[in-house]
Amino acid sequence: MIDWQMKEKIRQALSSHRKEKISDKSLTKAAVLVPLFFRGGEYHILFTRRSSQVAHHKGQISFPGGAHSEGDHGLLDTALRESWEEIGLETRDVEILGELDDTPTVSSGFVISPFVAFIPYPYEFKVCDYEIDEIFHVPVSALLHEAKVTRESRVVLGEVVTAYSYEYEGRVIWGATAWIVRQLLEVWQSMSGAQ
């Protein structure tokens, strides 16, 4: 049974979060969906592993998403379109809960707008083999309490920031994806009674 109260707490926490936007014109706009679902009495985050055939971020763990196209009405459209193309996630099955801060990629020159969403589970995903090698999920509680977390200082857009990586069951989540995960976990921890 889905914990609806928790889902509403997430929505409220995200709505009160003041999104930090990056307007650097030298960066290419992109958007991702950060899919959450309820399984086995707890919330999970869905991840993808990019194939070795794509132009950017080959083999990296990511969220469904990609570069903004002229035909997209906005960045949310980008995230939804890319999620459909990559994993067959229908827009009608996505409930947007809110946004996290824009996140730059250091090596590839993108600025990512992350949209946190609730999706049904189980779900009949249709993976685009050209773009995605794997779909997997990690319980939020594991990222909060069990994953091996590494922190190091890096310079991003001229500022020194803390870069995170998470290792869980042999998979390493790093880069912009880890930064987005960190933001979500901070929102999660800010909610009283979040577990």
> Does pTM top 0.85 for this prediction?
yes
In a domain, 127, yes or no: yes
Residue at 71 is within a domain: yes
**CATH number of the CATH domain containing 47:** 3.90.79.10
Is position 176 within any domain?
no
Tokens of 77: 């459209």
Domain hosting residue 67, numbered range: 4-139
Given its phi and psi angles, is residue 82 left (phi above 0), alpha (psi -120 to 50 degrees) or beta?
alpha
Cβ pair 65, 112 in contact under 8 A: yes
The answer to whether residue 171 sits within a structural domain is: no
Q: Which of 54, 9, 70 is nearest to 36 (CA)?
A: 9
In a domain, 51, yes or no: yes
Question: Does residue 8 belong to any structural domain of this protein?
Answer: yes
Considering the domain boundaries, does residue 77 fall inside one? yes
Residue 169, domain member (yes or no): no
Cα separation, 164 vs 39, whole angstroms? 26
Number of domains in the chain: 1
Give dist(CA 46, CA 56) in Å, integer: 20
pLDDT tens-place values along the chain, 195 residues long: 677 888 999 999 999 988 999 999 899 999 999 999 999 999 999 999 999 876 565 679 999 999 999 999 999 999 999 999 999 999 999 999 999 999 998 778 899 999 999 999 999 999 999 999 999 999 999 999 988 999 998 887 788 888 899 999 999 999 999 999 999 999 999 885 544
